[in-house]
């Protein structure tokens, strides 16, 4: 019983099982700094039945299975560190049902968020979760992704109503319901969302949708200091202004965006905001926000309902990761992802900023500050061990400070390989409970092994 015998037994997939080196390499690569860890084969199932067969076959041969969406995760979440078969959902991208009246949609996991929103355009509905990357929705569920709109619409935790999941032994289950709420037993949907494929393979998702807002407006404004920008965010939340997005970029990120997206913002910290609502509601929100940032010393505030200005703004924000990478030629990145209670956010960001400045590395900071979540993009030369050590030290200290503040090591990227070392510090005994659940549901430790929990 070996990986090779599993691959042999998967021959029923025909040319939808590939062993080509380029395909294996592509599936073992990382968006960030993780070493390549290719699988031994990549399977492209077309439906749930095939996924079940693949998982069952691999279980019979003790072969690891790694679910794979668009490959945009940042923590090595899909690295095949123990080899095995990667299940690529590229051929499971169908929209199975749009229930417009119920404002939900049933989809296959390989569909990306942009593809879904293109499909929905004519319905007046949209799926709001936006992690920046055009990730697959199965992958977004698996890492409990969020991004720029979580402050208003929540994370994947809040937007997945129901799942179909293939368990470690090939059984197919359904969790949740299309009803908006339920008290019918353990919340298995929430258990599989964020499990990074370690408890089961998601083969179908029922997602909540939102009505496209009648009006949308957006704005950028500049601040002299990080603390002023963050305090403006805190005040906005406490006033109950329902921003759809409120994003922070520091002076270094602003410089990167100016260069990459040909913008000309002053090189100081900025907030980028968006409001959704009725025409009158959006105007009221923008006016009240304008008053708050004036009190906090914000400058250059100007809101606009023009679709093209808005598109340019969020295009620039979505490309910020690549803009930051471009600050240093050939660099790779360690991307941090802490999230803290918002009362501690200004202190957390400023301390991170100072720590990075003292390190000699470049490390622009940006974040979904309405949630207390921010990232530093720590730029290192690939293979430069001393730099990697410095970056890891910065990242460690950022996490330690976040945990001491009641926060988390990862707001939205998941554990993957990159955050495993912090799990005990964050969860203590509760990490052991996660292992107990993993062992109950995947006793052979074959589903995306070596991620989230440490079994052996």
Q: Footprint of a copy of itself on residues 391-410 (CB under 8 A)? A: 402, 406-410
User: Are the beta carbons of 317 and 247 closer than 8 angstroms?
Assistant: yes
Residue 16 CB, shortest distance to a copy of itself, in Å, is 26
User: Are the beta carbons of 183 and 67 closer than 8 angstroms?
Assistant: no
User: Are the beta carbons of 198 and 447 closer than 8 angstroms?
Assistant: yes
260-279 residues in contact with a copy of itself (CB under 8 A) are 277-278
152-191 residues in contact with a copy of itself (CB under 8 A) are 154-155, 157-158, 167, 171-175, 177-188, 190-191
Query: Does residue number 46 form part of the binding site for a copy of itself (CB under 8 A)?
Result: no
Residue 336 burial class via C-beta count within 10 angstroms: exposed 0-12, middle 13-18, buried 19 and up: buried
Query: Does residue number 362 form part of the binding site for a copy of itself (CB under 8 A)?
Result: no
Nearest CA to 335 out of 394, 382, 384 is that of 394
- Between 44 and 192, name the residue whose CB sits nearer to a copy of itself: 192
Sheet holding 172-176, edge to edge: 95-99, 104-107, 201-208, 160-166, 172-176
Residue 426 CB, shortest distance to a copy of itself, in Å, is 6
Stretch that binds a copy of itself, among 13-21, 28-36, 208-216, 319-327 (CB under 8 A): 208-216
Which residues on adjacent β-strands are paired with residue 67? Answer: 87
Q: Which two tokens stand for residue 38?
A: 């290719």
312-351 residues in contact with a copy of itself (CB under 8 A) are 337, 339-343
Query: Does residue number 306 form part of the binding site for a copy of itself (CB under 8 A)?
Result: no
- Between 33 and 419, name the residue whose CB sits nearer to a copy of itself: 419
DSSP conformational letter for 40: S
78-97 residues in contact with a copy of itself (CB under 8 A) are none
Q: Which of 234, 320, 327, 391 binds a copy of itself (CB under 8 A)?
A: 234
Helices 345-359, 385-404: axis angle to 10 degrees equals 160
Query: Does residue number 421 form part of the binding site for a copy of itself (CB under 8 A)?
Result: no
Count of beta carbons in the 10 Å neighbourhood of residue 169: 15
Number of residues that bind a copy of itself (CB under 8 A): 91
| DSSP-derived pairing of the beta strands 41-43 and 85-88 | parallel
Query: Does residue number 297 form part of the binding site for a copy of itself (CB under 8 A)?
Result: no
Residue 261 CB, shortest distance to a copy of itself, in Å, is 27
């Amino acid at each position: 019983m070996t990986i090779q015998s599993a691959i042999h037994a998967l021959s029923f997939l025909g040319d939808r099982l590939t062993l080509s080196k380029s395909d294996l390499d592509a599936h073992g690569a990382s968006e960030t700094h993780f070493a390549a860890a290719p699988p031994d084969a990549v399977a492209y199932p077309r439906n749930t039945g095939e996924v079940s067969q693949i998982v069952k076959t691999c279980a019979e041969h003790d072969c690891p299975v790694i679910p794979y969406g668009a490959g945009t995760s940042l923590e090595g979440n899909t690295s095949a560190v123990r080899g095995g078969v990667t299940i690529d959902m590229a051929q499971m991208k169908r929209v199975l049902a749009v229930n417009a009246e119920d404002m939900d949609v049933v989809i296959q996991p390989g569909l990306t968020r942009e593809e879904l929103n293109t499909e929905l355009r004519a319905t007046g509905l949209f799926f709001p979760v936006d992690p920046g990357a055009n990730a697959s929705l199965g992958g977004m569920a698996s890492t409990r992704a969020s991004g720029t709109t979580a402050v208003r619409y929540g994370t994947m935790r809040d937007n997945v109503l129901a799942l179909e999941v293939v368990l470690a032994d090939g059984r197919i289950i359904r969790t949740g319901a299309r009803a908006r709420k339920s008290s019918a037993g353990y919340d298995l949907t929430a258990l599989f969302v964020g499990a990074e494929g370690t408890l089961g393979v998601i083969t179908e998702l029922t997602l909540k949708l939102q009505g496209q807002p009648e009006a949308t407006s957006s704005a950028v404004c500049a601040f002299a200091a990080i603390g002023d920008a963050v305090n403006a965010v805190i005040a906005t939340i406490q006033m109950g202004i329902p921003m759809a997005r409120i994003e922070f970029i520091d002076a270094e990120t602003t410089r990167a965006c100016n260069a990459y997206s040909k913008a000309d913002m002053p090189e100081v910290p900025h907030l980028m905001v968006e409001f959704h609502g009725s025409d009158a509601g959006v105007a009221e929100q923008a006016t009240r926000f304008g008053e708050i940032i004036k009190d906090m010393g914000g400058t250059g505030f100007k809101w606009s309902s023009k679709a093209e200005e808005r598109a340019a703004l969020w295009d620039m924000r979505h490309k910020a990761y690549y803009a930051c990478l471009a600050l240093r030629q050939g660099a790779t990145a360690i991307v941090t992802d802490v999230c803290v209670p918002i009362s501690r956010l200004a202190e957390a960001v400023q301390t991170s900023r100072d720590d990075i400045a003292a390190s000699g590395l470049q490390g622009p900071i940006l974040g979904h500050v309405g949630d207390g979540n921010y990232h530093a993009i720590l730029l290192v030369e690939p293979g430069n061990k001393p730099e990697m050590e410095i970056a890891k030290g910065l990242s460690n200290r950022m996490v330690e400070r976040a945990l001491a503040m009641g926060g988390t090591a990862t707001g939205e990227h998941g554990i993957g390989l990159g955050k495993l070392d912090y799990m005990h510090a964050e969860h203590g005994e509760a990490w052991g409970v996660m292992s107990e659940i993993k062992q109950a549901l995947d006793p052979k430790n074959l589903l995306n092994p070596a991620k989230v929990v440490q079994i052996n």
